[in-house]
Amino acid sequence: MIYVYGDSFAYGSDLKPNDRNVAVWLGKELQTRVVNRSMPGNSNVVMCHQLIEDITLSKLNPGDMVFVCFTETTRFSAWDEQLADAQSTELSKYTPIFPAGHSPSRHHELFKWSCTSDQGIYDLAHCIITMYNACKCNNIQLVFGYAFGTTISEYKSETMGTKREDMITYIENKDIKIANKRFSEFEENYQYGTHPNADTHKKYAQYIASYFKGQTI
């Protein structure tokens, strides 16, 4: 079994009805069943919550595989009691908030005062460490990737303080599998704000599958 966590890229937004997304292709490449937990607008923190919840509820078990396709660090999520709990868990009350203001007006001030670029980077680092340790303790094979945006190692080159550099160095020194290429890099003439086409989903799935198979990238 492989569980996939991500945003609209891994979800397969804008694909045609008969097109297969990256999760489906991963299942075919690895010859296993698939559960795609990706959601349009998902944030890195909620991906982490989803994975921990799935382990806690024994949906993920020893021997399973996990692929996490991170989104941009400027994307956050807010707990919103006004949201209808239409899904089976409380995670349905998380709603995405974006810097461009594509979220409910009641969240605009929250983003303005609490959702900083530094916060997003620290969140990403904490998510990587938390998910890595949770999967390692439960004998779950884990591979990280990025839909688009800046990778954790690229943030290290920015002058944002020693503490953050130490966290990133800690991540780099662990046996954490992080794909070198972003999902968006497999799309020819990719433009920010668009979603990958069907062919790109297949190519990226083959690329990510090679990490699970232990092949040299």
Q: Tell me the sheet residues that pair with 94.
A: 79
Report the pLDDT value the prediction gives residue 166, as an integer from 0 to 100: 80
Read off the pLDDT of residues 107-134 as tens digits, 9 standing for 90 and up: 555 555 555 567 778 889 999 999 999 9
Q: What is the CATH number of the domain that holds 46?
A: 3.40.50.1110
Residue 83 has pLDDT above 50, yes or no: yes
Is residue 158 over pLDDT 90? no
Q: What is the pLDDT of residue 168?
A: 84
Could you read off the pLDDT of 198-210 as tens digits, one per residue? Answer: 999 999 999 999 9
**Is there a domain that residue 217 lies in?**
no
Does 154 reside within a domain?
Answer: yes
* pLDDT tens column, 2-33: 999 999 999 999 999 999 999 999 999 999 99
Of the two residues 175 and 159, the one the predictor is more confident about is 175
Contacts 24+ apart (CB under 8 A), 153-157: 153/178, 155/73, 155/121, 155/124
The pTM of this model reads 0.86
In-domain check, residue 62: yes
pLDDT of residue 152: 85
The token pair at 153 is 């190692």
Average pLDDT, the chain: 83
In a domain, 187, yes or no: yes
Number of domains in the chain: 1
pLDDT surpasses 50 at 88: no
In sequence order, the β-bridge partners of residue 78 are 95
Domain extent for 28:
2-212
